[in-house]
Amino acid sequence: MREILGRRRRLLSRRKDEGSEVIGAALTFATQWRWPVLPGVAADPQGRSRCGCPDPECTVPGAHPFDPGLLAATTDARMVRWWWTNRPGAPIILATGGRAPCAVSLPALPAARALAALDRRGMRLGPVVASAERWAILVQPYSMERLGELLYAQDFVPGSLRFHGEGGYLALPPSGTGRGEVRWERAPLPGSAAPWVPDVEAVVDAVVEALTRTGVSAPEF
């Protein structure tokens, strides 16, 4: 009986630590970096690969806003504390664009090759968010008009690229989703100031060139 109670205490302690880590990260994003965030829908506890939302065919299980909706994203510390105190297992969802960074994402394997190519070129990158299936490079906010111009100027744009701009969202670390954990592949430097992120033009040009040169033909997820 003592062994069972001890195991239960360790489990509760681990859950408390994990909840503290998530709420601490959410508060850093919202209050120090001024990135609007909100809790995402959790993965279905009956099937971790499924989403807790009503859509049985959800393509981003446990990694998107649902209730509240994306427009509720905020930098208010009291709201952030209330959300994650009541939903400690919820993923942290960033509302991209506006005051927050946007992102360019691609499947994990070609993303790793692209980042290696960018490192060889000496290109400076900011934070990179990684999940089991996709990596996302954070970039400065951009408009859809500017993105359209950038893509039009390319001879070839891989269909596996995705763009998280104004009105979009992205799960941030440390978040658990139906497709696994979300982590930093390139973590922000410690400090109170919001991390530096590159211009979207430099990232699009470099990623497209890296994917083309390495001959990566990546399926879209």
How far from 109 is each of 114, 131, 133, 134, 218, CA to CA, in Å?
9, 11, 8, 8, 8
Asked whether residue 218 is assigned to any structural domain, the reply reads no
Q: For residue 16, is it within any domain? A: yes
* Identity at 219, one-letter amino acid code: P
pLDDT at 47: 55
Say if residue 216's pLDDT is above 70.
no
Structure tokens at 129: 């968010």
Closest CA to 186 of 141, 133, 118, 137: 137
Domain count, the chain: 1
E strands present in 40-158: 92-95, 102-107, 128-130, 134-139
In the chain, at which residue ranges do the beta strands (DSSP E only) sit? 37-39, 92-95, 102-107, 128-130, 134-139, 162-164, 169-172, 175-177, 180-186
Does 57 score more than 80 pLDDT? yes
d(CA 61, CA 44): 8
Any domain includes 221 = no
| pLDDT-based confidence at residue 44 (cuts at 50, 70, 90) | low
pLDDT at 5 exceeding the cut of 80: no
Give the structural domain span for 56: 2-213
Taking a C-beta distance cutoff of 8 angstroms, is the pair 22, 15 a contact?
Answer: no
* In-domain check, residue 219: no
Select, from the ranges 2-6, 57-61, 172-176, 217-221, the one with the highest average predicted confidence (pLDDT): 172-176
Q: Residue 220 falls within a domain, yes or no?
A: no
Residue 13 has pLDDT above 50, yes or no: no
Residues 6+ apart with CB under 8 A from 65: 38, 39, 40, 41, 72, 73, 93, 169
Judge whether 191 lies within some domain. Answer: yes
205 in a structural domain: yes
pLDDT digits (tens, 9 = 90+) for 21-41: 999 999 999 999 999 999 998
Length of the chain equals 221
Flag whether 83 is in a domain: yes
